[in-house]
Chains A and B, each alone.
Chain A
């Protein structure tokens, strides 16, 4: 039986190859777009497991908070570590649009305790203690900078970085690398930024580490209550909520990607259904003969649908397989914007399910028509 399906599928080699390739290309594209979506999901999931909360100015992130809040937040029960940060943005002259980096000025001492999900190169934090302009750069960001700006980006060298927010430019000495969820960060010392800005004592946002997960909601409440009705009220939220509001600002890109994905599925369906309709037309007489030989209607329909599923699954093997090979973890991250751009088991499964669904649907209509046609009609038809 399987042999028959296999042989049938290859009766018109050219047609099958073309269909398989067409399905493969489209499925590859679909998987690629799903990778983008799952990258966002993974980011949120990681953030959901984090023990960190963010405190920012109640009006928006662009308003600064006083340095003195650091100690006050640290005194809140269940808070183990506090780190004041300022978002610098980070742009390299001439590459403003093409090179994305999250440059952050951060209090140095709490760094390792706060970011335990990052691996810092041994000794790099020590080196930063000795160099006020010192910075640690994500390994992947360093590679990207080298690609775009050449060899001036090396560990040990000094680089000049602009900001879309501040009018100053800063010179940073790259002292070492780190690896972690965000592969586009460049962290430097906040006291250096203070010096550059003539000590305004301002902080963009605070990271605070909470001792236990169940204490997170309480800490958020307590921190905000501490500064309620003050000059600078705060808003404290979980890392996940913080990230969600950034994603929300990206607009409806996720919805758009989903709709395009749907259009791709429709296209695959059209191509596959077209092929199966052609096959059905050619085999009308043959199906009638098979019925005469004792094949039941159901059997013929089943044969036909199986062939359709086989063809689209072959497309999936090539397309989804290609995506798995190409989008291996860490291969590609859309210039730092989609850090978890990779094929997950979930994405693979969706790709295969789409192929299966397309195969079933594309085969179903011609199969039913073929099974319904009376034997006499089928035999009578002359091409």
Chain B
């Protein structure tokens, strides 16, 4: 068996051009598949990575987004009184956030798009240690900090720029990173300033807290129910909240699978062509192998091996073509808040494996009928061929 597989392997190099072209066709399929899945994965990973299991968001009941939630000052004060919330010397560690949607132009003058401004206090940074602002700066007055990926997607968001939204100009004093979490699509500004600018009085959209144990979530909700001020509030884990906003990813996966399937069909038919030609040209060789005592099954397996190898090599090439998109920044619409979410393409090892498998599978399927034909052919016919 080893010998005959070597024979098949070497044959790939004899028919270099044909092998290469088939391989390149399969590579295109795998590359397209990977790029689409990397896009879906990028969106999904925002939901998966945002917030640790202990981070909790409190919203107005009946709303499923910060966009539509409003929490009065009194309710927020009352909620902070819940005893199980962690405290330090300055009181309960609760971040009061105001979520405001603004529209900014693109750097290239293209059509403007919505993005999120989050009005925050110093507590926002205590709750989210993953947010790291350059130079440790904090938003204050008209000074704002901007997630780094936004600087490329919108105009006037570089450090030192003045940007106009709401009723005035704001100074961009620093960029921040957030480990690929949802905050990386946001501008953070001083809470009282944003409340004043957006005429929200002292209302906020949400409260963020960090519990000490996962079981505390149920207790927190029970406590909130008790007071008439906070009865209208509900706490969920941050992870669950953001996972609910990645619906686009599911659609992308379906579309990606359909495209991959159709393309595989096209590439598989091409591979079939190559393999039929391969066995046609080597008819006498096959006959000789059979005459030497190699069985039908061996011939079948060996030609399947040959075509799978082409497919697999195509898979490898496809992975190589697609890999550079990993980490590439892009943005998409969040269908819940109608704002732009910045994220990066993400290729996981599992996806690469699936890509390789698709390559090998396309090769194997394309090679099956030709290999069967090669194995079935009577020895004499094979030997007699021109």
Contacts and interface: CB of A to CB of B under 8 A. Distances in A.
A251 interface: yes
Interface in B151-196: 165-167
Interface stretch (A22-30, A73-81, A145-153, A206-214): A22-30
Interface of A: 14-15, 18-19, 21-23, 25-26, 28-29, 33, 59-63, 96-97, 163-168, 231, 233, 235, 241, 244-245, 247-253, 256, 259-260, 263-264, 266-268, 270-271, 273-275, 277-278, 383
Contacts of A263: 28, 31-32
Given A59-B103, A278-B18, A264 B336 contact: no
B263 A29 contact: yes
Which of B21, B60, B167, B265: most chain A CB closer than 10 A? B21
B63 interface: yes
A28 B262 contact: yes
A252 B331 contact: yes
B126 to A, nearest CB: 28
Given A60-B103, A249-B333, A264-B28, 5 more contacts: A22-B265, A62-B114, A249-B113, A251-B330, A252-B330
B110 A248 contact: yes
Contacts of A166: 68
5 contacts: A22-B265, A25-B266, A164-B64, A166-B68, A249-B339
A251 B345 CA distance: 13
A167 B61 contact: yes
A233 B22 CA distance: 60
B273 interface: yes
Contact of B112 (A14, A97, A168, A248): A248
B103 A260 contact: no
Interface string B342-379: 00000000000000000000000000000000000000
Which of A21, A164, A244: most chain B CB closer than 10 A? A164
Interface in B322-339: 330-333, 335-336, 338-339
Given A61-B338, A248-B110, A275-B273, A270 B24 contact: yes
B63 A167 contact: yes
Given A248-B110, A249-B340, A251-B330, A19 B273 contact: yes
A260 B35 contact: yes
B247 interface: yes
A233 B199 CA distance: 13
A245 B112 contact: yes
A23 B272 CA distance: 13
B117 to A, nearest CB: 9
Given A62-B338, A277-B18, A165 B166 contact: no
Contacts of A97: 247, 250
A233 B247 CA distance: 33
Contacts of B292: none
A277 B17 contact: yes
Contacts of B247: 96-97
A297 B267 CA distance: 33
A274 B273 contact: yes
Interface of B: 17-18, 21-22, 24-25, 28-29, 31-32, 35-36, 39, 60-65, 67-69, 100-103, 106, 110-114, 165-167, 198-199, 247, 250, 259, 262-263, 265-267, 269-270, 272-274, 276-277, 281, 330-333, 335-336, 338-340, 386
Nearest to A247: B111
A167 B103 contact: no
Contacts of A271: 21, 25, 266-267, 269-270, 273
A186 B260 CA distance: 35
A28 B17 CA distance: 27
Contacts of A273: 21
A231 B196 CA distance: 12
Contacts of A163: 68
Contacts of A247: 111
A166 B68 CA distance: 6
Contacts of B267: 22, 267, 271
Nearest to B39: A256
A6 to B, nearest CB: 20
A244 B167 CA distance: 24
A59 B165 contact: yes
Nearest to B69: A167
A97 B102 CA distance: 24
Given A59-B103, A63-B198, A164-B336, A26 B273 contact: no
Which of B63, B273, B340: most chain A CB closer than 10 A? B273
3 closest A-B pairs by beta carbon, nearest first, are A271-B270, A22-B269, A167-B62
A259 B32 CA distance: 9
A205 to B, nearest CB: 12
Which of A235, A271, A275: most chain B CB closer than 10 A? A271
Given A267-B263, A274-B270, A248 B64 contact: no
Given A248-B106, A264-B263, A270 B270 contact: yes
Given A245-B113, A274-B273, A61 B101 contact: yes
Contacts of A14: 276
Nearest to A23: B266
Which of A26, A33, A275: most chain B CB closer than 10 A? A26
